[in-house]
Structure 1
Amino acid sequence: MSLPKLLTATAVTAAAALSVTGCTSASVDDAKQAATANSAPSAEVAAAPLNKAAADLLPADVKAKGTLTVGTDPTYPPFEFYASDNKTVIGLDADLAKALGETLGVKVEMVPATFDAILPGLSSHKYDLGISAFNVTAERKKNADFAEYQLSGAALAVKTGNPKHLDVDPMTLCGTKIGGEKGTTQGIETLPAWSKTCTDAGKPAIDIQLYPTQDEANTALASGRIDGILSGELGMAWASKQSGGAFQLSSDKSYLPTPVGMAMAKGSPLAPAIMAAVKALVTGDTYKQINAKYGLPQSVAVSPDAVDARGAQ
């Protein structure tokens, strides 16, 4: 996440005051302001061609509506963040969502939400899709289906110079304050497991600090209130470059590369159309151009055979 605006006195003070109280309207507004400090690369991306076979699989009500409603957390550049108008969601996932709509011949409406509210919103039919850099895990697949479009591991961001010599190794983190975003795999699965590794070895637990938005976690690290952040490697690499030297990745190591997918309610009638459209996308030029626009290596790309993540749990 970007730090120039995020590190204004107002944003830092507000994030510090709100980080222990949960998500409030003020914290969302501060995160929204913070996210606009980013600017998307200006490279042009060709429109994705309509795939009639995929479009024909859309449920009748979606065809009639002509729009897919997509829940997203726009505080996680380069995947999703706000444009300078403070309301338009831009970023890699926004570009992919647009390309998905072009492939299916429908419009896409990106609806801002806190990350931990998106999957429940799918189950309650508030959103048709969730596109917000979701790691596809066995736990999440119990309640949602995913169309995989990328691979990403976790990375640790630390203060510049890494004064405490931390890394993606739990034994280096015992007794330190490590942040993350609420609802993320790193926050609810990885860090608690790593903390247990510490205590099982007779060492102090990791002091896990979870924040309503990724921007608030980044502010906490830059202002010295935590020692590190565990989050997706691509997002943390972007945030580190945007931080103005406030923090860096601990190393070039990543932890447990896992698929990233577009989420749908379990058993959603949309799944056949979305799977077909994403399979078409990942073999086309638009997908390659979007990855290149955001500087992603070819290693993050998935094959069409890996897209459908509705298999046995």
Structure 2
Amino acid sequence: MSVRTRSIPAALAAATLAVVLAGCGAGGDGSGGAAGPSASAVPAPTKDDALAAMVPAAVSADGKLVFGTDASYPPNEFTDTDGTTVIGMDVDLGTAVAQKLGLTAQFENSQFSGIIPGIDGARYEAGISSFSITPERTATVDMVSYFTAGTSLAVKAGNPDGLDPERLCGRAIGVQAGTTQADEITQRQADCAAQGQPPIQVTELQQQTDVTLALTSNRIVGMLADSPVAAYAVTTTSNAVEVVGDPYDTAPYGVVIKKNSGQFAQAVQGAIQSLIADGTYKSILDKWNVANGAIPTSQINA
């Protein structure tokens, strides 16, 4: 996933270094819990009546905007220390978008690969889960840009195995299933074979938090993940891991909207642009220390 950069579906410690991502909930299984964002809650934005009028009645009738999200991807979307409340940059942004549209955001935790099919099947009204915008996706859904990220290689602190993104053949590398990084590993395997190098020993897990736990518990020597996720892993493992090199394959994230939904995509795009203009967007990104992924302009199917 050169960005969750997650790919199309068929498609971090306070007490111990084994506690992964987000300070992990009780038991340190990598399932959630926050080390804490850098700022307090962001004030609610004001409803924009003109944008609200663009939301289809089928969406606005119950006063809710239901998002599908895979809450295993800190700091973008993950569960708080209670193990159930979904928090993160995407959650704050989705909440603000809904408020601009006069709605209340509701986040349904889902397996990543099931979100886009769930939008097509009307289970969700939108998807916000670090989806990178790709031609393959925009062929079937509309995507409204709100952030940009690339892929980073995270390794154990000090990089004892001497990894870099261009020399992974024969190494034990972890990725999250259904992501662009998982697709990337497939291509890298072909490259290793063509060069007469041993194959990458791939560990592919359903949740990113489990991939990070595999790294901190020495089951793998490196992981490929979206740049904000890898950077967050560094801060929430008491620097037990580090990022090697610069992010690559940078691409925008998008809110996923079902095609042929009237002016719904335009309403979401207008809401994001309004949040950029009024400073709410910057406040959210600053809160989660991901301001380097800010975009100046939101677009549909960029």
| TM, length-normalised to structure 2 | 0.87
**Aligned positions of 1:1-313 closer than 5 A:** 2-4=12-14, 34-169=31-166, 172-187=167-182, 189-251=183-245, 253-269=246-262, 270-297=264-291, 299-304=292-297, 306-309=298-301
For 2:135, what is the secondary structure of its paired residue? coil
Equivalent position SS for 1:133: coil
- Structure 2: distance between partners of 1:110 and 1:77: 15
Classify 1:6/1:89 alpha carbon distance in 2 versus 1 (closer, same or farther; 3 Å): farther
After superposition, the Cα gap between the structure-2 partners of 1:151 and 1:8, relative to the gap in structure 1 and judged at 3 Å, is closer
Question: What's the RMSD between the two structures over aligned residues?
Answer: 2.2
Is the 2:154–2:223 Cα contact (8 Å) retained in structure 1?
yes
Q: Distance in 1 between matches of 2:148 and 2:34?
A: 26
* Kept in 1: contact 2:29–2:213 (CA 8 A): no
- Tell me by how many angstroms 1:268 deviates: 3.2
One-letter amino acid matched to 2:129 = S
Offset, 1:282: 2.3
Residue 77 of structure 1 aligns with an amino acid whose one-letter code is P
- Which structure has the higher relative contact order (CA within 8 Å, separation 6+)? 2
CA gap of 1:114–1:61, structure 2 versus 1, over 3 A, is same
Deviations 1:7-33 (A, max 9, x none): 669x9xxxxxxxxxxxxxxxxx98986
Structure 2: gaps spanning 5 or more residues: 1-11, 21-25
Distance, in Å, in 2 between the alignment partners of 1:33 and 1:217 is 9
Structure 1 runs not aligned, ≥5 long: 12-28
Instruction: Measure, in 1, the Cα distance between the counterparts of 2:281 and 2:108.
Output: 22
**Corresponding residue SS for 1:168:** coil
Distance 1:5 1:182, change over 3 A: farther
In 1, distance between residues paired with 2:41 and 2:57?
33
Q: Answer whether contact 1:75 1:214 (CA < 8 A) is retained.
A: yes
Percent identity of the aligned residues?
33
Kept after mapping to 2: 8 A contact 1:3/1:37: no
Kindly tell me: are residues 161 and 33 of structure 1, through their superposed partners in 2, closer, same or farther at Cα, counting changes over 3 Å? closer
1:150 is aligned with what amino acid?
Answer: F
How many residue pairs end up in the alignment? Answer: 285
Larger proportion of helix: 1
State whether residues 150 and 260 of structure 1, in contact with CA within 8 Å, keep that contact through their aligned partners in structure 2.
yes
